[in-house]
Structure 1
Amino acid sequence: MMIKIKYVMCLMLTGVFMISCQEDAVQEDNSGTLNSDSVLTGFLMSVANDHATDECISLSYPVTIFGYNSSFQVEQTYTVNNDAELYSLLQALDVNEYYSISYPVTIIVNGQTVALNNNQQLELAVNAAIIACDTNGCDNPNVLTDDLMLYMTFANGVVADLKGNAVSAPLELEGVADRNGNQNCAVAFNGQQYLQVTSAPANALLSGDVFSISLWFKMQNTVAGDLEYLFKKGDAALQGFYLTVYDMNTPMFGMPTAEAWDSSWNQDQSLWEDTENWHHIVATLDADNTLRLYRDGVLRDTETASGNIGATAMDYFIGKGLTGHLDDLRVYKKVLTQQEVQTLYQLEGDCSTCLE
């Protein structure tokens, strides 16, 4: 497809890309819109018109689309209810017409629901799904996937859970290279961004439940006293449980009555100032309320709590207050063994977009 790029100034309001009329005579940015030559337009037309891809990718309807004229004035609002309507609408786009999509938009990739919040995320996700359809396979290594409750690889910079949990990103995240140098296979947080996983019966962790959290992180903040959450149940103090970095970026896994600290971390002055290297963290809670914290494949601390993680299901928060990079987040409804922790630590960065 021949790609023509015309730039206009964009302002994103309440999940909908609205276009201002302040045009720059030299450059305009219409990255929030679709026109007849947009790459995303072509991808969406392929999904809507190629029934061979229906089993591996589909859109969740209805989808709301706004139509603009060449002066970027809204002329029409369309409610699209199926593939045929979407294809007809996109096919009829004239060169002087523009559409914008009302986000979030949900797509279904290999049976997993993915919520997307802007054109870039949608284009990356659709492109990755089409490639996966063409290869008729899933490149997930399928290592230690039993009892997974949440599995986020951040492949192609897309925020999605391969287990199908609903994940929202109030502010857009930037894709970055993972620990093996795979481009756009991890995500960066700037201290204001975070992810929120909606509570559901399938992902509830309650008093008496056992679980494990595995993730990779790379700090970008060297302020010694900042408290930064990697993963957290609930959004208030003294709720649920929390996996954090605090006090010179020291990893810590806690709940209201106990905390397990990586006490060896701040004995190495270079670690908390390190913004170049990735580290692997695993936190486990067993049936005896014993917390264990592993870093880079080594058990760093064990503590026993006198309380519990609460009897109420709550949303989970990822990256709240974090200035750094995250990758390959896994949450299990089981206690990982030392050998399983080692297996995860030795795995290469995961850029898969599906889970079989």
Structure 2
Amino acid sequence: MDKILKTSLLISILLIFGCNNSDEQNEIQQLDCLPTGLQNGVVAFYPFNSGSINDESGNNNNLANTTTASATIDRNGNTNCAYQFNSNNNEFLTLSNPTFLNGIQSGGFSISMWYLSENEGAGLMSRGNDFGNCAGGIGEWNLSLWDNNWPVFFINSYRSIGVTPNPEIVQLNEWHHLVVTSDITDLKIYQDGILIEDNENVICNSGPTPSLNMGDLFIGEFLSGKLDDIIIYNILLTQTEITELYNLTPCCS
């Protein structure tokens, strides 16, 4: 009887250590997707590997899909490594009560993503989805595209509009890299590694200011197109870091 008990205990210990090792290996694989220097300050990371909508930063800020949004090919043709949205079907990904975003704007933060828009004007990401402050603003902050597909970032009562290098060309059905950095009053927008807007103290008070630290996280709402490799940082990225992000291959395994 003692022998059986000891054997069972040994098997249990081996299983526990085996699970722990597996978790460690998965975490290493997730971190290896970004170079070491680009891992600093990551609070959420959505590369959509194998169609997963989990946060691969290790912070467990996992998304939910209550719509018909679906995995699709990424910018390098990898299957199930990006996400497709159709605004006509009200498709989006979401995270309820994202407390990890509370107060993030006070210390400065950055958002990096790849997008492909199929129509003029689109939503990309927002904290909350109630309409307020600036015309076109949604929630506490939001990143979107205007009718001419210029990237626009709203936060509280501030707005920044990124005029693309070729403003007369509506860039549809093309993959583009987009980064915004914000310390509330100084907003910067980078497209394909290039700084296309740097606005400080650009205030618009055309509507009510949304409450801070409230609202769910919405990704892909009001977009007909694709998104990939979304990263939220709690730091202000530098030009060097943004250039490195732009030159990375898709995080797809």
Give the TM-score normalised by structure 2.
0.77
Per-residue displacement from partner, 1:269-312 (whole Å, max 9, x unpaired)? 2x33x31x21000001026x200000000001111245988533
Which residue in the other structure is 1:293 paired with? Answer: 189
What does the per-residue CA deviation read over 1:189-214, in whole Å, with 9 as the maximum and x for residues that have no partner?
11111111233443324552310000
SS in 2 for 1:351: coil
Q: Given the superposition, is the C-alpha separation of residues 254 and 186 from structure 1 closer, same or farther in structure 2, using an over 3 Å criterion?
A: same
The answer to whether the Cα contact below 8 Å between 2:50 and 2:81 also exists between their aligned partners in 1 is yes
Would the alpha carbon gap of residues 213 and 137 (structure 1) be closer, same or farther in structure 2, given more than 3 Å must change?
closer
- Say whether residues 1:202 and 2:100 are aligned partners: yes
Q: Which of the numbers 49, 62, 68 marks the counterpart of 1:166?
A: 62
**Which amino acid counterpart does residue 285 of structure 1 have in structure 2?**
S
State the one-letter code of the partner of 1:334.
Answer: I
d(CA) in 1 for partners of 2:97 and 2:195? 30
- Residue 245 (1) aligns with residue 150 (2): no
Cα pair distance change 1:56/1:235, threshold 3 Å: farther
Which residue in 2 is equivalent to 1:141?
A: 33
Matches within 5 A, 1:271-310: 271-272=170-171, 274-275=172-173, 277-286=174-183, 289-305=185-201, 306=203, 310=211
Deviation at 1:268? Answer: 3.5
Relative contact order: is structure 1 or structure 2 higher (C-alpha 8 Å, sep ≥ 6)? 2
Q: Distance in 2 between matches of 1:206 and 1:51?
A: 36
- Structure 1 pair 200/318, CA: closer, same or farther in 2 (3 Å)? closer
Identity, in percent, stands at 27
2:160 corresponds to which residue?
Answer: 260
- Note if 1:215 corresponds to 2:180: no
CA–CA distance in structure 2, aligned partners of residues 173 and 56 of structure 1: 33
Q: Structure 1, unaligned stretches of length 5 or more?
A: 1-49, 58-109, 112-131
Q: Unaligned stretches of 5+ in structure 2?
A: 1-14, 133-138
Residues 72-117 of structure 1 show CA distances to partners (whole Å, capped at 9, x for unaligned) of xxxxxxxxxxxxxxxxxxxxxxxxxxxxxxxxxxxxxx38xxxxxx
Q: Is the 8 A contact 1:207 1:311 kept in 2?
A: no
| Partners of 1:336 and 1:213 in 2: CA distance | 9
Q: Which structure is higher in helix share?
A: 2
- TM-superposed CA distance for 1:343, in Å, is 0.7
What residue number does 1:182 align with? 78
Structure 1 residue 258: deviation in Å?
2.5
> Match for 2:236: what amino acid?
V
Q: Distance in 1 between matches of 2:64 and 2:178?
A: 23
- The residue number in structure 1 matching 2:126 is 232
- Inter-CA distance 184–351: structure 2 relative to 1 (3 Å threshold): same
Please tell me whether the aligned partners of residues 166 and 198 of structure 1 are also in contact (alpha carbons under 8 angstroms): no
Partner-residue secondary structure (3-state), 1:55? helix
Letter in 2 for 1:229: G
What residue in structure 1 maps to residue 46 of structure 2?
152
In 2, Cα distance between the equivalents of 1:166 and 1:265?
35
Tell me how far apart the structure 2 counterparts of residues 53 and 188 of structure 1 sit (CA, whole Å): 36
Distance change in 2, residues 1:257/1:263 (3 Å): same
Aligned pairs for 1:311-350 (under 5 A) are 311-350=212-251
| Distance change >3 Å, CA 232–CA 300, structure 1 → 2 | same
- 8 Å CA contact retained: 2:81, 2:228: yes
| Cα pair 1:282 1:293 within 8 Å, conserved | yes
- Normalising by structure 1, report the TM-score: 0.56
Instruction: Indicate the SS of the match to 2:244.
Output: helix
Distance 2:103 2:176 in 1: 25
In 2, Cα distance between equivalents of 1:183 and 1:199: 31
Question: CA offsets, 1:205-248, max 9 Å, x none?
Answer: 45523100000001122xx4x4x211101110123111001212
**What amino acid sits opposite 1:254 in the alignment?**
F
- How big is the shift at 1:254? 1.5
TM superposition shift of 1:262? 2.1
